[in-house]
C-alpha cells in the first residue's frame, strides 16, 4: 500500500485564514492517523497578490498551533545552517522533493508544459484580453456558461515560444476532450461524474511565464508523491481538469477529499466583512492555540459521540475523513469562547498567569520592572509573580479569553471603586440594615492580624459572625462582595479579601458604609 502523504499549500497573500488552518489541521490529522507524512509547500505563483513577510507569518502561526511537518519550508533557525536559505536568516527548506516554493520551480513547469504540447494535450493561445472579454460578454448575453471558445485549439504546435525563450503575448491552455465524461470518487462527496464538453480549456501557463494553480499543483503533487489531496470545497469544480492532466501525463491519480465551506451565522461564506478571519487575530484576542484547533476540528467533523474537548493526540487517534460533513459549518464564536474557557480552567495557574501578564500590562494595570517584579500603576507598589497568580486565580473559572483578564481583575488594582449604592442592597434590605451588617464585618475583620488575612480564615470568622448574629448568608456576603469589588458579578469576598489584603479590604468597607449614610 502506498504511504500516506498530505500537504498544506497556502499562498503567501497575508495572514493565515481560519479556513486554511482547518485545511492544514485535517491534512495533518489524516497523515498522522495513517502513520504518514505531512508537508508544507508555498504556492506563490500569483505575484500580484504576494504580501511581503507572509511566508514567515504562515510558518510562525503553524508552529504556534503545534502542527509539525516533516518537509517543506521552515524558519531558518529551526534547521541546520547548511540548508539553503531563501531569505537570509529567515526562511529555509528541508526535504528530498524541493524546491518547496513554486516560484523556484518554473523550469520544472515549463518542461512539463512542453511535454503536454508535444503530445497534443495543450496548446498555445494568442487571444487578446479584449477578445476574451468580448467573448465572455456575448456568452453571458446568451445565458451560456463563460468558457474559452477554442479559437486557438487548431494552431500548429511547432516552434514552441518557450524554446525560443519568448515570454508574453500568449498563454498555454489545456486541450480538454469534448466528448465523454470524467469521473472520480471524492472521499467526502462520493462519486462525481462531469461531462467533458463543459470542462473549460483552462489556462495552464500565464503570459508572464508563471504556471496557474491547475498546472503547478498537479505537477508538484505528483513529484512530491502526495497520496491524498485534502482541500476546500471551492476546488471541487477544478478537480476534473486536474484529473485530465494526471491522465495526460500518464500519472497515478491521488485520492481527493473536498472540505465543506465555513459559514457566517447567516449562512454566507465566512469573510472579513462579518468579523475576524485570520488565525493571528484570534490568537491576539487570547484564544489558546490548542483551543482554536479543537474548535476548528469540530467545524465540519463529527466525532460521533458527545465529546467536544480533544487534545492534539486525541484528535490524531480519532480523526477519519468518514466523519467529515458534506454541508457547510457555522463559525460560532460563542462555541469558541466555551471551548477556550474550558482550556483556561484546566491550565496550570503559573502558565496561565504568564500568558495573562501581557494583557494586564496592555490594560494599564501593571508595568514590568524585571523578570519577576511588576509595578502596580495605580499605587506604584511592587507586585511579584506569586501575587499576580493569586489575582489571575480569582477569574480563572470565568475567563473565556485571555484578553478579558484586564477588565475582569481591574477592581483589584484601582484606588477607588465606582458603583451605585443600591448595588450594595441584598433583596429587600434597607440601607440601614446593609450599613449595620458591613459595620459588623468591619469590626470583625479589623481584629485579624495581617498575616492571618487568608481566604479560609476570613470565611471562618465571617460565617461565625453570621451564625452568632442570625444574619442570612446573602445579607452579609452580597454587600461585602460588592463593597470589595464594585461589581454585580465577581469572585467571592473571601478570595477577594485575601488578594486585596487587610488595608484595602477595610478601606473599601469603610467607603461603602459612608456611601450609605
Burial of 270 per CB tally in 10 Å (0-12, 13-18, 19+): buried
- Decide: 475 and 429 in contact? Cβ < 8 Å: yes
How is residue 50 written as a grid cell?
504576494
How far apart CA 248 and CA 61 sit, in angstroms, is 37
Q: Which residues have C-beta within 8 Å of that of residue 156, sequence separation ≥ 6?
A: none
Residue 276: strand, helix, or coil: coil
Q: Active site includes 206?
A: no
Please give the C-alpha separations between residue 284 and each of 66, 148, 273, 335, in angstroms, as whole numbers: 17, 45, 19, 18
Strand order in the sheet with 203-205: 122-125, 171-174, 203-205
How far apart CA 75 and CA 54 sit, in angstroms, is 12
Helices (H), 279-404: 279-284, 289-297, 312-318, 333-346, 349-362, 385-395
478570595: which residue's cell?
A: 495
Label each residue of 148-163 as H, E or C.
CCCCCCCCCCCCCCCC
How far apart CA 299 and CA 295 sit, in angstroms, is 7
Please, which residues bridge with residue 269 across strands? Answer: 263
CA diameter of the chain:
105
Four-residue CA torsion sign, 275, 277, 278, 281:
positive
- Decide: 342 and 295 in contact? Cβ < 8 Å: no
How far apart CA 357 and CA 496 sit, in angstroms, is 19
Label each residue of 318-349 as H, E or C.
HCCHHHECCCCEECCHHHHHHHHHHHHHHCCH
How far apart CA 41 and CA 278 sit, in angstroms, is 19
Residue 250 CB neighbour total at 10 angstroms: 7
- Decide: 259 and 6 in contact? Cβ < 8 Å: no
Q: In angstroms, how far is CA 405 from the centroid of its own chain? A: 21
Residue 184: strand, helix, or coil: strand
| Choice among 3, 118, 272, 368 that is catalytic | 272
- Provide φ and ψ at 161, rounded to 5°: -60, -30
Cis amide prior to 99 (ω within 30 degrees):
yes
| Residues belonging to the active site | 272
Amino acid at each position: 500500500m502506498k504511504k500516506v502523504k498530505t500537504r498544506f499549500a497556502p499562498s503567501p497573500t497575508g495572514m493565515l485564514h481560519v479556513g486554511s488552518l482547518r485545511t492544514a489541521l485535517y491534512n495533518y490529522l489524516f497523515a498522522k492517523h495513517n502513520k504518514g507524512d505531512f508537508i508544507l509547500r508555498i504556492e506563490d505563483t500569483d505575484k500580484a497578490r504576494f504580501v511581503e513577510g507572509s511566508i514567515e507569518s504562515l510558518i510562525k502561526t503553524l508552529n504556534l498551533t503545534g502542527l509539525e511537518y516533516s518537509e517543506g519550508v521552515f524558519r531558518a533557525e529551526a534547521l541546520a545552517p547548511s540548508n539553503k536559505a531563501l531569505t537570509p536568516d529567515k526562511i529555509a527548506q528541508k526535504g528530498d522533493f524541493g524546491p518547496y516554493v513554486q516560484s523556484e520551480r518554473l523550469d520544472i513547469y515549463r518542461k512539463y508544459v512542453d511535454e503536454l504540447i508535444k503530445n497534443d494535450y495543450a496548446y498555445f493561445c494568442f487571444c487578446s484580453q479584449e477578445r476574451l472579454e468580448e467573448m465572455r460578454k456575448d456568452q453571458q448575453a446568451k445565458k451560456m456558461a463563460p468558457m474559452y471558445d477554442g479559437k486557438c485549439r487548431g494552431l500548429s504546435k511547432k516552434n514552441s515560444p518557450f524554446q525560443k525563450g519568448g515570454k508574453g503575448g500568449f498563454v498555454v491552455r489545456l486541450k480538454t476532450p469534448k466528448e465523454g465524461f470524467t469521473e472520480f470518487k471524492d472521499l467526502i462527496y462520493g462519486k462525481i461524474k462531469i461531462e467533458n464538453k463543459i470542462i473549460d480549456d483552462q489556462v495552464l501557463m500565464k503570459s508572464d511565464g508563471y504556471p496557474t494553480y491547475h498546472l503547478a499543483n498537479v505537477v508538484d503533487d505528483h513529484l512530491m508523491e502526495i497520496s491524498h489531496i485534502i482541500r476546500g470545497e471551492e476546488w471541487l469544480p477544478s478537480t476534473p481538469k486536474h484529473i485530465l492532466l494526471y491522465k495526460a501525463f500518464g500519472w497515478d491519480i491521488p485520492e481527493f477529499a473536498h472540505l465543506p465551506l465555513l459559514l457566517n451565522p447567516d449562512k454566507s461564506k465566512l469573510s472579513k466583512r462579518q468579523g475576524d478571519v485570520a488565525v493571528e487575530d484570534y490568537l491576539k484576542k487570547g484564544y489558546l492555540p490548542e483551543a482554536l484547533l479543537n474548535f476548528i476540528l469540530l467545524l465540519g467533523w463529527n466525532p460521533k459521540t458527545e465529546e467536544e474537548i480533544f487534545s492534539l493526540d486525541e484528535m490524531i487517534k480519532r480523526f477519519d475523513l468518514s466523519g467529515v460533513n458534506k454541508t457547510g459549518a457555522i463559525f460560532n464564536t460563542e462555541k469558541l469562547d466555551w471551548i477556550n474557557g474550558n482550556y483556561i480552567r484546566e491550565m496550570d495557574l503559573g502558565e496561565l498567569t504568564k500568558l495573562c501578564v501581557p494583557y494586564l500590562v496592555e490594560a494599564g494595570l501593571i508595568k514590568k520592572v524585571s523578570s519577576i517584579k511588576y509595578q502596580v500603576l495605580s499605587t506604584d507598589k511592587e507586585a511579584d509573580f506569586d501575587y499576580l497568580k493569586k489575582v489571575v486565580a480569582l477569574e480563572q473559572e470565568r475567563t473565556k479569553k485571555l484578553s478579558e483578564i484586564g477588565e475582569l481583575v481591574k477592581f483589584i488594582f484601582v484606588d477607588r471603586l465606582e458603583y451605585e449604592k443600591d448595588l450594595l442592597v441584598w433583596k429587600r434590605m434597607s440601607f440601614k440594615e446593609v450599613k449595620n451588617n458591613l459595620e459588623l464585618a468591619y469590626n470583625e475583620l479589623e481584629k485579624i492580624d495581617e498575616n492571618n488575612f487568608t481566604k479560609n480564615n476570613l470565611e471562618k470568622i465571617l460565617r461565625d459572625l453570621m451564625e452568632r448574629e442570625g444574619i442570612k448568608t446573602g445579607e452579609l456576603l452580597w454587600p461585602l462582595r460588592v463593597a470589595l469589588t464594585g461589581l454585580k458579578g465577581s469572585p467571592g469576598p473571601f478570595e477577594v479579601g485575601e488578594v486585596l489584603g487587610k488595608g484595602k479590604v477595610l478601606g473599601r468597607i469603610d467607603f461603602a458604609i459612608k456611601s450609605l449614610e
